[in-house]
Amino acid sequence: MPTSKKFFHDKLILSLLSINIFLAVICVLLVLLRFGAGGASNDYIVQFRANLGISSFKTGSLGSILSFAVFSVLVTAINAILSFKAYPIRRQLSLAILALGSIIMILTLIVSNAILGLR
pLDDT tens by residue, 86-105: 999 999 999 999 999 999 99
Q: Residue 54 falls within a domain, yes or no?
A: yes
Q: Residue 63 falls within a domain, yes or no?
A: no
pLDDT of residue 5: 83
When divided into structural domains, the chain yields a total of 1
pLDDT of residue 102: 96
pLDDT tens by residue, 72-91: 999 999 999 999 999 999 99
pLDDT of residue 101: 95
Q: How confident is the model at residue 36 (pLDDT cuts 50, 70, 90)?
A: low
Angle at 46 between CA 44 and CA 50, to 5 degrees: 125
Neighbours of 60 (CB within 10 A): 15
Structural domain containing residue 50: 3-35+43-58+68-117
Helix (H) or strand (E) holding 18: helix 11-34
Q: Residue 48 falls within a domain, yes or no?
A: yes
> Can you give the pTM of this predicted structure?
0.84
